[in-house]
A and B are shown apart, each in its own frame.
Chain A
Amino acid sequence: MADGARSAVNERDELRQTVRATLSRISQTGELPTLPSVATAALGIVRSPDAEVEELCHVIRMDVGLTARVLRVANSPGYGRRHPAKSMQDAVVTLGLRQTCDILVAVCARQLFAPGPYTELLWNHSLATAVAAEEIARATRLVKPGLAFLPGLFHDVGRIAFQLADVPSFTTLQELVDAGEGTSQTFEREWYAFDHAQAGCILTEDWGLVPEQCEAIRWHHDPAQAPAGHVLATVVNAADAIAYAIGCGPSAKRPEDVSTAALGLSPEAEGALVERIREAFETQKQLIG
């Protein structure tokens, strides 16, 4: 292994160890936030090159609430079925394996965002960024649309981990950011020794996202630094900016390091894209919650 690659591996191992040890140490339960097992099972199935519809259906059927939710999405007007899907197999064929998995993970991820004023804002922001990332991927063809939804959804999940672990410290950090005293990444690094993007990368790695998606989460505030998944990080960064543009920012002020500039769209094209994202977000919000 080349020296550069070895040093990147060492750096990642060190980060993984620090994130896990710190979050476990400060959390009340001593455990890291996890996705429900049905979501990780679905991610595992979709990652496999031999993934089969029936296999995913079997996982979804184990949860009655999820079954109903997936059928509801597949039968929504956006998917243009003439006759409603009655079986899970129909629904999965309509949506496709990847999209079914994205919906399922989003429904499961909703549970991580426990009710609270800030978490509600953060959930809307995460869902809006996921929808925006997928739409940007479709419009620009920079990356496969199927790759973009989950890093958009989880780009700020590190913040949720910080909040779940220690609400008072998280609130103090947020108050300083809102007061314009500095950026959240700076304060997070000073306090936790890593920021929410780094924490999100390590958590989603554990949950079964592919490396390119994890890298995009890690570098969504600084896509130029991403050694791999550079383009996906750019897409998530732009999606983050658009989520603010449609009124789904978790704070009043948009961070200075998120922007749509790297997409190279004309103002008209960008305006049309933002409108499509606004509509798509409203639809997903109604379906997923």
Chain B
Amino acid sequence: MAAEYWDRYARERRSRRRFLGGAVATGAGAAGLALVGCGDDDDDDATPKSGLATNTPAPNATPTPTDPYAGAKRGGTYKADQAGDPPTIDPYGNLSFLTKGFSAFIYSRLFKYNAGAGVKKSDLLPVGDLAESSEASPDGLTWTIKLRKDAKFHNVAPVNGRAVTSDDVKFSWGRATAEANTNRSQLAFVDKVEYPDASTVKFTLKAPNAAFLDVLADANLLWIMPTESKGKFNPAQQAIGSGPWMLDSYQPSVVIKYKKNPAWHVPGFPLMDAIESAIIPEYANRLAQFQAGNTDVSGVTAEDIVSVKKAMANINLYGEVSQLLSMVFFDPDPASPWAKDPRVKQAVSMAIDRAGLMDLGYNVKKLKAEGLAVSERWNNLIPAGMERFWLDPTGSAQGETKKYFEYNVKEAKALLAAAGFANGFETVYQYTANRYGAAFNAIAEAHIGFLNEIGIKTTTDVQDYASKYVTQTFVGNFKGIAFGYETPFPEGGSYPNRMFTENASNHSKIVDAELAALATKQQQELDPAKRKEMFFEIQRKNAAKMHYVPSNAGAGTGWTAFQAWVKNIDVATVPGSYGGGTETAPYRWLDK
């Protein structure tokens, strides 16, 4: 079984090589700029939230008879926006998506996602970035990765364009797993890393891991920095990587300017000469800049999308469902009503009008009436945007537990009564309103009405994100019922691992041996079909007990508007991967 799994990756790599070869010959490539501002604190309702949106090349797509880059124009400066500064430009200096998004322009990873034209979201898989090849041992415990010989760092002192070697990987792995790097827990499944020669890296895992290449492609984790970052220059002030773009200048709170790396290891790309990403915190200002033609791209809310399209007939719209799971979760107090009887959680789920929430947060009815293609998929425990593992909660595959996703106040009240709470109960309902934007806030408020309707009398605690929500509630230190987003992991396995195994961020401190075992087992299952079925089983089992009640903030379509002259916009990478600077930006072009 392991062999089949690794064969699949090998096929991916081969088809990628074929594609790239063709691309060089034809001047082709693929796709778009990835968002820097996705995760923008205040505009989650406009998915790729900022200017550098999330489209990608088609590296491993089956080559089509029509070369999508035949008419591609080179040159020009792409003007984008983003909502905030990266807290630091050192890729290991902060967990912020703004730092990771910035890093994707400058730095390479060992692997990246194969997003691009012709690649369905459900087929998004890791392919080599700096890795030229990878081989796994039959037991899946050892991975040998060969680095590309043609990969070089930017030609900037003190690195001066030298080749990327395994020493750089060793240095970067050290930073990724340093004690102060809180992401190191994501890499704890790696037993040891060896560096037999300058172009070989050998990973030994503690147990087989189906998501290993996804981890290496995860833009949150392993960016390859030059060893000179230690002592010869300060990576918090100067960014030198081997990625498609070089840092031209960074004026905090004003603009980040990138210029293309002419020696990038994907020959012929990037197509554009430069990118300027203006830092504009206010949505109204970003939209006005786009309307005035000052920027080439901007995230637009579902509320504004129709009026913007009407006022600017020539623009192109790109809609995408983010990989964002919102959930109602419960305190771990054994004396709480939901601990006494699990039917309370089922009742809460049935009190939620999910279709109504889609309309409230994402303007679904109006946009459909205007002829726009909007998603109506609901979040399950796996977010609706993660098609690779998502189980449709309204579909027959959900089985009997499908009923717990239905809006049924009468049945919800009956469940509460059966649990011994015929008159309801009082509790605290908490969420944060200063981080996730208007759609989230509207949906969070709507939950109050839903809970009240079935007799759960709530005292609302609207929490500050920084001082209370993320540091207390999110990690399970709270009383009552909470609502929030889960971290947008690019790989599905992280969701059950985080939520059902013993770890600091098991938000409700769920102890469910069956689900914990499944969470661990899926990570080690190397057969994609079997693994997918395990994901479905996890979603069904969660629904049966509603440990976490999925809600629809994050499930709707987010919109990005592009000026007519921006080409190659309609491909998508992994939402939440933050890797678009590498995966999409080099392949977009301007046709002015």
B partners with A: no
